[in-house]
Amino acid sequence: MTKAFYPLLYLAWSDDLLTQKEFESIRGFLAAQSWLPEADRSELLSKVDFSNPPAREELARWKTAAHEVLAREENVRSLFSLSYELSGKDTAFMKARNGFVQLENELGILGEEMLDSFRSPENTLTSRHDTVYGFDVGRMQAILDGDEAAIAEKVKQILTRADFAYFTSTDVTAYREKVYDWCKTLADENLGNMAFPKEFGGGGDMKGYFALMENLSYHDLSLVIKFGVQFGLWGMSVFFLGTEKHHRNYLEKIGSLALPGCFAMTETHHGSNVKGLRTTATYDHASQTFTINTPTQNDQKEYIGNAARHGQMATVFAKLILDGKDYGINAFIVPIRNADGSPIAGVTISDCGLKMGLNGVDNGKIHFDNVVIPKENMLDKFASVNETGEFESPIPSDNRRFFTMLGTLVGGRIGIPRSALAAMKSGLAIAIRYSDRRRQFGPEGGSEVPILNYRMHQRRLMPYLAKSYALHFALRYLTDRFLNRREEEMQEIEALAAGMKSYTTWTVRDGLQECREAIGGKGYLSENRIDALKNDTEIYTTFEGDNTVLMQLVAKSRLSEFRKEFGKLDMAGMITYVYENAKTVVAEKNPIATRKTDEAHLLDYEFHHQAFAYREKTILASAARRLKKLIDSGMDPYDAFNVAQHQMMDVAGAYLERVILERFQSAISEVSDDGSKYRLVALRNLFALHQIETHKGWYLEDGYMESPKTKAVRKLVNQLCWDIRKDAVPLVEAYGIPDSCLGAEILTKPI
Amino acid sequence: MTKAFYPLLYLAWSDDLLTQKEFESIRGFLAAQSWLPEADRSELLSKVDFSNPPAREELARWKTAAHEVLAREENVRSLFSLSYELSGKDTAFMKARNGFVQLENELGILGEEMLDSFRSPENTLTSRHDTVYGFDVGRMQAILDGDEAAIAEKVKQILTRADFAYFTSTDVTAYREKVYDWCKTLADENLGNMAFPKEFGGGGDMKGYFALMENLSYHDLSLVIKFGVQFGLWGMSVFFLGTEKHHRNYLEKIGSLALPGCFAMTETHHGSNVKGLRTTATYDHASQTFTINTPTQNDQKEYIGNAARHGQMATVFAKLILDGKDYGINAFIVPIRNADGSPIAGVTISDCGLKMGLNGVDNGKIHFDNVVIPKENMLDKFASVNETGEFESPIPSDNRRFFTMLGTLVGGRIGIPRSALAAMKSGLAIAIRYSDRRRQFGPEGGSEVPILNYRMHQRRLMPYLAKSYALHFALRYLTDRFLNRREEEMQEIEALAAGMKSYTTWTVRDGLQECREAIGGKGYLSENRIDALKNDTEIYTTFEGDNTVLMQLVAKSRLSEFRKEFGKLDMAGMITYVYENAKTVVAEKNPIATRKTDEAHLLDYEFHHQAFAYREKTILASAARRLKKLIDSGMDPYDAFNVAQHQMMDVAGAYLERVILERFQSAISEVSDDGSKYRLVALRNLFALHQIETHKGWYLEDGYMESPKTKAVRKLVNQLCWDIRKDAVPLVEAYGIPDSCLGAEILTKPI
């Protein structure tokens, strides 16, 4: 009969969680089994003497006895029934039943979990889950590449050459030279001038240039930024802000990297508020020259790429002063270095020094001490000084002119998020492929399980996998809109670009963070490249416009769109209209929608889109109403916009998410391959439901959804993460990133 | 009369947002003013000819006219009334009124915002906000330091010496030597052996050791980790796992850094699942030796601090094999280097190479090829081999013994979050002090405003300021609990430490991210140290236990606590009891609590605590119920815990937040200085309400709050952020971090 108590004895000694007090409970229980023969009881009590532990062999014998029963009897589900089996189903043993149940509770461990320690389990649900190649990766990649496949292929061919092996030393000087050499190689391959007009030796292919930047971003991001500074910022500023004489003089040399240059806009004290910059360009009609000057240290050009080491010239933004009057910000080509690499007289260049990332880019500060340049160095597309020395511009407002100039450079806000997204794809490819192979923990006694099978791991990575696809299509759409823009769409496109830049780079920041943590210590080693991906993209949320500032601009643009749409109503009327209209639409169409939880409904694109669009409209109307109320109450509009800043973030975010969802759906509708389509729909569902889950506080607060629905959404997000896990590896393979570009040791070592 | 239209003309040309189409609207409007003399109308129309822009002087004249009216007339609130004033209040002008209103709407800009471009505004609400020294910083610092002031002072005195100037080169070899030298200096100051017993030359001051680690963390974190590896991990493992002979032989040499060593636990394939490690220590009774061996490459010791360069010995965790039988994991002292620094025969050491951060720590991999050590090198506090060659242990279960051994090392999970929090304090001190001085944007025509006055900026930083205080007190509490523990509290304290380690390091990760972004490009430059703070602490979420894994342990511990508390009920009964009980309590005490929004209620600690405690209990009960349901339905418990992983995170998080809130309140109750107390209460309110806002989705889903209440909470969070902003600089000064330790260039340069 003592055999029936073996499992209990084993648990008493093996369980790491039992305290001495609980130990006493077991003694108490045994002592209370008065139906047991006295000898048996004494023997059992001697086995649970804290000061006299059993030998290991005895422990093993106890465990084996229990294990044998469990292997034989499938239906044993409690400690008592296990013990009962061991008693040989002795009816006397039933007397111990109540005591057992009570004890199980007191010991504070689930009965099944306890039993588990005796089992050599079958394959569990979690163990069995695995990668399945259920669709054609090549076809999926073709869908992602679209009509950019050829340029993608060309870029990757170059990047996988031996001389593009990653630079791994911490020697910053050597790193910068390496990055310069890479840029030179790309220029030699006719990639630097790709976007310049054919008449100046270029490729005349702006679309190709965006594709190029994206694919380059599978490699070192210092290379991408250095490349972008030279051919994008420096080259494009000459192209877009200059006129034919500048194009003739400079574009070919810029495109071949014969003339490295800078884009010198940001000043120390004038970063986000770029309108406030204070460098001056003072015109002298007698000598037909401009004098470029930095008034104080706070006004020097800062963070300027290509400045610290390689740049020979710079597009400098400065206030044009003519006859003592300020004509606003204009752009000038200013030489900064002599042929021997020394700064020209009057120019002081200092190095920004070590940075968190992008150390292959030579960022510097430039200070101008009355540097004289000829009149023709003014980039004079939007303003000029005429032959009689008067200022001329088709755009008389300084502000408007400046923003028109900036508008021509909006391409940067398309290239940057595309580059960022490529970096996140690299991170996801590394993290997901590793997590599919890395095993930790497992069912008691069973093999360890790939960590990608764990719910939290899926929860961390799968939503970003879905977002990578969603953003991919949205950024292609943004690019197309920009390339095929009509003048009157420009404001909308600028706002969309500013928004997508912010939304994407923040997503990438968070996604790469999850990648780092998901692969643990391996993610901390530079050899696995998450380090570089994270630190290089860190500044993407700040440069080309601080994200928070840009999101405010997007929101303001949405407010003005909103008003245009309802121009005939007064403000209050508009708000009421939109707000009530949105509510009514929903209420009418779906009287029980707020509590509807069936899967067909929750996986329906129409539901997702309606929820996104409703949120967008409602937040927008609410922000407009709030602003109006504040201003009506006498608050300075500047203050009112400050008070509403937090809400403005939501206005912008809700708008962007609606656009992203629509573009994902639109892309899917063009897919003919069933296998790919099925996965894309799953990713779209996960993207949509995960966002709805993220915003559930808002939906509940608004009353658009009630708790049964938000709970059902959560459950479905879990399920989608679980389902997509088996496609995750082929889905990151479909990004088409060469292994040498991923450059992660953990992917090449046997595991 | 044409003068009345100047503002409109100015806006037509100056506003950056108007499109050509809107331009046409203005022309249409002017053309429709049939009451105007034909000549006036023609003149006006000639001024809005897109192909013939006005001269700058004309633009300026228009603006000035409008400006003069606005400076004089305070009550002008629309474009129409401005124009009406300019008409000299001509009644004929009233005929233009409807047209104006319609136009204002069509142009899509708020009327007040438009007017703003003509104003030189008074100081606005936003501009006026500023730092106020409203309390005694020294007293606040004294509250934070508590009884650790003396050790804090001593550490800071050392850290501010010239030879502790930060190392700024990228030469990793030199950096490691620098960090070693710093450790040596600290050891010479008798800080290395602080926690060791006095009989072995130590300070016998464990409490002081924690304070030391925290204050050291205001400096280079490589130093902190190297220091912790040597004196904490290596030293404490000898102290806690060894016996007197080891203490006598080693502690003094360890404490003086005469004997640098390692803590070799983690293996390549056995990181989080440390029970699975596979290094063996095979006993041979004839020679009275153990042979330490690494079976495969995957089983080598990895990430081992002090290994790559300085370590001479290591505490190695290995499975003890005796007569062919496995006796579980035990610890052994194994020499790894000869006196000349070369590895001893059989030991292969490789360098982990560059890391994302902490590059001053020489992490390495160690491979043992049958390295023989004498029997006495077994750290034999919890297990030993007796004189007849038999295994002996007071804890027969291998598992339980191993976790007992790990339990003695739980101090690491207290030191790490305290170190992390110190790093976040540094980041906040840098970001908040800079944001208080850095100005960007401002009311139209007014001065630029400190960026800390912007709502989003406050929203990003103030909640972390509040959390830094909340966590400070909670970590002091954890330390005290650990130092004054009774045996039966150990499980609870271990869970609390695991949880606080995770919660704190994740908070720090997010807080430092906000600091980086809040200071923009300056935050990307290494000279401002956010770089180092972020990258060095990045691994804190992984080492000393992966956060996600630890949170699961915390949740499991909570589940078992929960059951103990209600031991007498069966599982279902318990759940019902807790769940209903919690609901009832709330419902009874506050029949209208779910919609209560008055400020006195929302700022009441009782409300906060009840909300936190309710959430904790409800989530716990719900998780327990779910697990039981899954297991009852036949799911393998291993799978059930995987399915519930996401919920388990919430179980742990809700528990930790309740504890943190309670400890904050408890600390406040002991404060006598009114000025400090007032600020601490504000910070506690912000912490509590910000968490409630973060979890509003849960509260709404549960029905504990309804939307008027969650909306009121949001509003109050905004208000608290706004209010605390003026105290923010003194509040970070109260951390007491020396400027040289902050080491941020942006704080020392004039602005």
Listing DSSP states for A552-572 in one string gives HHHHHHHHHHHHHHTTTS-HH
Give chain A positions within 8 Å (CB) of B356.
516, 523-526, 530-531, 534-535
User: Of A487, A524, A646, which has the smallest distance from its Cβ to B718's Cβ?
Assistant: A646
CB interface of A with B, residues 614-673, below 8 Å = 627-628, 631, 635-639, 642-646, 649
pLDDT band, residue A347 (cuts 50/70/90): very high
User: Of B266, B397, B459, which has the smallest distance from its Cβ to A14's Cβ?
Assistant: B397
Interface residue B57 vs chain A (CB under 8 A): no
Given a cut of 70, is residue B122 above it in pLDDT?
A: no
**Average pLDDT estimate for B522-539:** 98
pLDDT band, residue B634 (cuts 50/70/90): confident
CA distance B180 to A28: 56
Given a cut of 90, is residue B2 above it in pLDDT?
A: no
Question: How many angstroms away from the CA of B216 is the closest CA of chain A?
Answer: 23
Least confident of A279-288, B6-15, B174-183, B295-304: B6-15
CA distance B373 to A256: 65
**Average pLDDT estimate for A353-374:** 98
Rg (chain B; Cα; Å): 33
Interface test with B, best of A80, A120, A172, A397 (most B CBs within 10 A): A397
Give chain A positions within 8 Å (CB) of B491.
17, 19
**Average pLDDT estimate for B2-30:** 78
In terms of phi and psi (left: phi > 0; alpha: psi -120 to 50; beta: otherwise), the region of B59 is alpha
Q: How far is CA A18 from the centre of its chain?
A: 44
Percent of chain A surpassing pLDDT 70: 92
Helix ranges (DSSP H) in A32-55: 38-47
- Token pair of A9 as six digits: 């004895």
Given a cut of 50, is residue A568 above it in pLDDT?
A: no
Q: Are B595 and B708 in contact (CB under 8 A)?
A: yes
Q: What is the mean pLDDT of chain B?
A: 91
Asked if A564's CB is within 8 angstroms of B108's CB, the reply is yes
User: Of A112, A353, A542, which has the smallest distance from its Cβ to B637's Cβ?
Assistant: A112
DSSP states along A452-517: GGSHHHHHHHHHHHHHHHHHHHHHHHHHHHHHT--GGGHHHHHHHHHHHHHHHHHHHHHHHHHHHH
**Average pLDDT estimate for A117-129:** 69
Q: Are A390 and A703 in contact (CB under 8 A)?
A: no
Please, which residues have CB within 8 angstroms of residue A575's CB and are 6 or more apart in sequence?
Answer: A621, A624, A625, A628
CA distance B319 to A228: 55
pLDDT of residue A272: 85
Q: What is the mean pLDDT of chain A?
A: 91
pLDDT of residue B107: 72
| DSSP run (H or E) holding B287 | none
pLDDT band, residue B637 (cuts 50/70/90): confident
pLDDT of residue A652: 98
CA distance B60 to A342: 43
pLDDT of residue A730: 96
Asked if B108's CB is within 8 angstroms of A526's CB, the reply is no
CA distance A265 to A331: 9
Given a cut of 90, is residue B544 above it in pLDDT?
A: yes
B729-732: Cβ within 8 A, 24+ apart? B729/B131, B729/B432, B729/B433, B729/B436, B730/B131, B730/B133, B730/B134, B730/B135, B730/B137, B730/B140, B731/B140, B731/B432, B731/B465, B731/B469, B731/B679, B731/B683, B732/B425, B732/B428, B732/B429, B732/B432, B732/B433, B732/B465
The length of chain B is 751
pLDDT band, residue A585 (cuts 50/70/90): low
Q: How far is CA A697 from the centre of its chain?
A: 22
Q: How far is CA A158 from the centre of its chain?
A: 26
Q: Are B282 and B290 in contact (CB under 8 A)?
A: yes
User: Of A269, A456, A637, which has the smallest distance from its Cβ to B113's Cβ?
Assistant: A637
Q: What is the pLDDT of residues A629-681, one digit of tens each?
A: 888 888 888 899 999 999 999 999 999 999 999 999 999 999 999 999 999 99
Question: How many angstroms away from the CA of B563 is the closest CA of chain A?
Answer: 5
pLDDT of residue A399: 85
> Which CATH number fits the domain B412-745, given the four candidates 1.10.540.10, 3.90.1170.30, 3.40.309.10, 1.20.140.10?
1.20.140.10
pLDDT of residue A129: 82
SS3 B612: helix
Please, which residues have CB within 8 angstroms of residue B297's CB and are 6 or more apart in sequence?
Answer: B268, B367
CA distance B300 to A415: 44
| DSSP run (H or E) holding B166 | none
CB interface of A with B, residues 563-602, below 8 Å = 563-564, 567-571
pLDDT band, residue A569 (cuts 50/70/90): very low
Interface residue A748 vs chain B (CB under 8 A): no
pLDDT band, residue A582 (cuts 50/70/90): low
- Token pair of B239 as six digits: 């102290």
Asked if A637's CB is within 8 angstroms of B354's CB, the reply is no
Give chain B positions within 8 Å (CB) of A539.
521, 524
CB atoms within 10 A of CB B51: 5
pLDDT band, residue B213 (cuts 50/70/90): very high
Interface residue B101 vs chain A (CB under 8 A): yes
CA distance A735 to B490: 49
Given a cut of 50, is residue B241 above it in pLDDT?
A: yes
In the block, tokens 């860190």 appear at: A538
Given a cut of 90, is residue B63 above it in pLDDT?
A: no
pLDDT of residue B200: 93
Interface residue B531 vs chain A (CB under 8 A): yes
pLDDT band, residue B76 (cuts 50/70/90): confident
Tell me which residue of B533, B525, B174, B748 sits closest to A351, measured CA to CA: B525
**Average pLDDT estimate for A603-609:** 96
pLDDT of residue A579: 58
Tell me which residue of A344, A319, A269, A255 sits closest to A299, measured CA to CA: A269
pLDDT band, residue B448 (cuts 50/70/90): confident
b/e map B461-470, b = 16+ CB within 10 Å: bbbbbbbbbb
Q: Phi first, then psi: what are they for A304, rounded to 5°?
A: -75, 115
- Token pair of B743 as six digits: 């080491």
Q: What is the 3-state secondary structure (H, E, C) of B727-747?
A: HHHHHHHCCCCCHHHHCCHHH
Q: What is the pLDDT of residues B676-691, one digit of tens each?
A: 999 999 999 999 999 9
| DSSP run (H or E) holding A614 | helix A605-632
pLDDT band, residue A562 (cuts 50/70/90): confident
CA distance A35 to A489: 90
Q: Are A491 and B17 in contact (CB under 8 A)?
A: yes
pLDDT of residue A79: 84
Least confident of B33-42, B207-216, B566-575: B566-575
**Average pLDDT estimate for A518-523:** 96
pLDDT of residue B581: 60
- Residue B78 or A688, more confident: A688
pLDDT band, residue A588 (cuts 50/70/90): very low
User: Which residue is closest to B696 within chain A, CA to CA?
Assistant: A697
Give chain B positions within 8 Å (CB) of A535.
356, 535
Give chain B positions within 8 Å (CB) of A59.
396-397
pLDDT band, residue A25 (cuts 50/70/90): confident
Asked if A440's CB is within 8 angstroms of B271's CB, the reply is yes
CA distance B744 to B426: 10
pLDDT of residue B743: 96
pLDDT band, residue A313 (cuts 50/70/90): very high
- The pTM of the full predicted model, rounded to 2 decimals, is 0.87
Given a cut of 60, is residue A574 above it in pLDDT?
A: no
CB atoms within 10 A of CB A74: 8
Q: Are A192 and A227 in contact (CB under 8 A)?
A: yes
DSSP states along B107-157: HTS-HHHHHHTT--PPPPHHHH------S-HHHHHHHHHGGGHHHHHHHHH
Same fold, B261-407 and B412-745: no
Residues in a beta bridge with A320: A281
**CA triple B157-B162-B163, angle to 5 deg:** 100
Q: What is the pLDDT of residues A450-489, one digit of tens each?
A: 999 999 999 999 999 999 999 999 999 999 999 999 988 9
Question: How many angstroms away from the CA of A545 is the closest CA of chain B?
Answer: 10
**CA triple B66-B70-B73, angle to 5 deg:** 135
In the block, tokens 């003149």 appear at: B43
Given a cut of 70, is residue A297 above it in pLDDT?
A: yes
| DSSP run (H or E) holding B24 | helix B20-31
Q: What is the pLDDT of residues B170-208, one digit of tens each?
A: 999 999 999 999 999 999 999 999 999 999 989 999 999
Q: What is the pLDDT of residues A187-244, one digit of tens each?
A: 999 999 999 999 998 999 999 999 999 999 999 999 999 999 999 999 999 999 999 9
Delimit the domains of chain B by residue range: 2-119, 261-407, 412-745
pLDDT band, residue B610 (cuts 50/70/90): very high
How distant, in Å, are the alpha carbons of A467, A681, A724, B103 from that of A678? 16, 5, 11, 50
CA distance B712 to B59: 46
Interface residue B443 vs chain A (CB under 8 A): yes
Class of domain B261-407: mainly beta
**CA triple A288-A293-A225, angle to 5 deg:** 105
Percent of chain A surpassing pLDDT 90: 71
CB interface of B with A, residues 21-40, below 8 Å = 21
CB atoms within 10 A of CB A371: 22
DSSP A343: B
Interface test with B, best of A524, A551, A597, A643 (most B CBs within 10 A): A524
Given a cut of 60, is residue A110 above it in pLDDT?
A: no
Interface residue A513 vs chain B (CB under 8 A): yes
pLDDT of residue A592: 67
pLDDT of residue B632: 82
Given a cut of 80, is residue A398 above it in pLDDT?
A: yes
Given a cut of 60, is residue B17 above it in pLDDT?
A: no
CA distance A320 to B427: 40
pLDDT band, residue B120 (cuts 50/70/90): low
Residues in a beta bridge with A301: A267, A366
- Token pair of B605 as six digits: 């600690």
In the block, tokens 């490819």 appear at: A429
Q: How far is CA A111 from the centre of its chain?
A: 43
Q: What is the pLDDT of residues B348-383, one digit of tens each?
A: 999 999 999 999 999 999 999 999 999 999 999 999
pLDDT of residue B524: 98
Given a cut of 80, is residue A124 above it in pLDDT?
A: no
pLDDT band, residue A58 (cuts 50/70/90): confident
CA distance B116 to A635: 12
pLDDT of residue A677: 98
pLDDT of residue B569: 44
